[in-house]
């Protein structure tokens, strides 16, 4: 199995409208699938990629036009400036957890594999999923599960975790699943557990705040008519992207200037998000929840 299969590859490359001599950024390098496709379209242009995951960094591409920056994409602007890049023609973000991360048991991302409760995208950071479930207060856990997992029984799940950890430390994915099993109906177990794991992962990696920071910087870095493409996989991410494109802010409130002109930053290219075909979903089941939004920088 490959490290990670690029999602919506044809639609992504078409949406970027690549200038062979332009400057592009893949802020989620992963297995390098999208980056390789972008490089195929470049002549004298260049591609910069970001990934904080040490495993992903091993996939770096040997190409004079390519630079892999081993950092969280929330530092996009800073590290591009260190490379002498002030403006770019296009930016791509694929926000999905890679197949490699899900399939590597000791990383603790998946409900399907028994492993340590880790969930760190960057193995150098201190906070792990185990720390969160063992040390966060009841109200903190409940808020995370409700806000990041959109779980209706967030409080009960949090309460069961607090009760379980009084008897033993929650060290593994199996421990966590056992801690909440009494509040997870069998016919809904996969969905609820996936939402629970998602909520904890978002908290571990500060994902939504990092996404907001990256998006703001991405808009600043784009040249006029430069393209921003984002592939999201759950409603929390997609809502932030959708609101920024449609209103110029994350709240979705359109602000107008003195003359009543909306203060927009981007123009929507596709009114409805692009989703994978049935053929792609059959070939790559992890693409099934993907939504691609394409936007263009306004003057």
Both 281 and 211 in a single domain?
yes
Kindly state whether residue 68 falls inside one of the protein's structural domains: yes
Last residue of a domain, one of 205, 240, 257: 205
In this predicted structure, the answer to whether residue 109 has a pLDDT above a threshold of 70 is no
Which residue, of 172, 205, 238, is where some domain finishes? 205
Give the pair of three-digit tokens for residue 250: 């994350």
Count up the domains in the chain and report the number: 2
* Domain hosting residue 180, numbered range: 105-205
pLDDT digits (tens, 9 = 90+) for 22-72: 999 999 999 999 999 999 999 999 999 999 988 888 899 999 999 999 999
Q: pLDDT category, 100, cuts 50, 70, 90?
A: very low
* pLDDT value at 190 more than 70: yes
For residue 112, the model assigns a pLDDT of: 67
Mean pLDDT of 261-281: 95
CATH number at residue 64: 3.40.50.150
Question: 221 and 85 in one domain?
Answer: yes
* Mean local confidence (pLDDT), 265-272: 95
pLDDT, position 124: 87
Identify the pLDDT of residue 102. 47
Instruction: Find the range with the poorest average confidence among 96-110, 182-196, 247-261.
Output: 96-110
Q: Are 246 and 191 within one domain?
A: no
Alpha-carbon gap, residue 278 to 280, rounded angstroms: 5
Both 201 and 211 in a single domain? no
Residue 4 belongs to a domain = no
**Together in a domain, 233 and 191:** no
Regarding whether 131 and 43 lie in a shared domain, the answer is no
Q: What is the pLDDT of residue 2?
A: 52
Please provide residue 109's backbone torsions phi and psi, each rounded to the nearest 5 degrees: -85, -25
Are residues 92 and 217 part of one domain? yes
Q: Is the pTM of this model over 0.85?
A: yes
Q: Are 261 and 125 in contact (CB under 8 A)?
A: no
Do residues 41 and 164 share a domain?
A: no
CATH classification of the domain holding 130: 1.10.150.170
119/241 same-domain check: no
Q: Indicate whether 122 pLDDT > 90.
A: no
Boundary (domain end) residue, out of 185, 205, 225: 205
143 and 153 co-located in one domain: yes
How far is it between the farthest Cα atoms of the chain? 64
**49 in a structural domain:** yes
Closest CA to 229 of 35, 42, 26: 26
On the CB side of 76, CA atoms within 13 Å amount to 28
122 and 171 belong to one structural domain: yes
Q: What is the mean pLDDT of residues 74-103?
A: 87
What value does the CA radius of gyration of the chain take, rounded to a whole number of Å?
20
Confidence of residue 15 (pLDDT cuts 50, 70, 90): very high
* 3 part of a folded domain: no
Residue 155 has pLDDT above 60, yes or no: yes
The mean pLDDT value for 236-260 works out to: 95
Average pLDDT, the chain: 93
Q: Are 252 and 201 part of one and the same domain?
A: no
pLDDT at 86 (0 to 100): 98
């Amino acid at each position: 199995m490959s490290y990670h299969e690029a999602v919506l590859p044809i639609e992504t490359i078409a949406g970027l409208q690549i200038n062979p001599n332009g400057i592009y950024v893949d802020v989620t390098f992963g297995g390098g699938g999208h980056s390789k496709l972008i490089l195929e379209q470049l002549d004298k242009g260049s591609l910069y990629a970001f990934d904080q995951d040490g495993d992903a960094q091993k996939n770096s591409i040997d190409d004079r036009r390519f630079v892999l920056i081993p950092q969280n994409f929330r530092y996009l602007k800073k590290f591009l400036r260190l490379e002498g890049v002030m403006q770019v023609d296009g930016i791509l973000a694929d926000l999905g957890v890679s197949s490699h991360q899900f399939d590597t048991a000791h990383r603790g991302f998946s409900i399907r594999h028994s492993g340590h409760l880790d969930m760190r995208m960057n193995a150098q950071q201190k906070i792990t999923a185990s720390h969160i479930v063992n040390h966060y207060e009841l109200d903190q856990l409940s808020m995370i599960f409700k806000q990041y997992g959109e779980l209706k029984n967030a409080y009960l799940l949090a309460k069961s975790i607090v009760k379980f950890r009084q008897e033993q430390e929650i060290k593994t994915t199996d421990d966590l699943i056992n801690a909440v099993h009494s509040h997870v109906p069998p016919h809904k177990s996969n969905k609820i557990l996936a939402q629970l794991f998602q909520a904890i992962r978002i908290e571990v990696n500060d994902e939504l705040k990092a996404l907001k920071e990256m998006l703001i910087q991405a808009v600043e870095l784009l040249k006029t008519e430069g393209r921003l493409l984002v592939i999201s996989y759950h409603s929390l991410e997609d809502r932030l992207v959708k609101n920024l494109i449609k209103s110029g802010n994350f709240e979705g409130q359109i602000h107008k200037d003195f003359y009543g002109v909306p203060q927009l930053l981007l123009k929507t290219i596709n009114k409805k998000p692009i989703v994978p075909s049935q053929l792609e979903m059959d070939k790559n089941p992890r693409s099934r929840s993907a939504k691609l939004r394409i936007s263009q920088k306004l003057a």
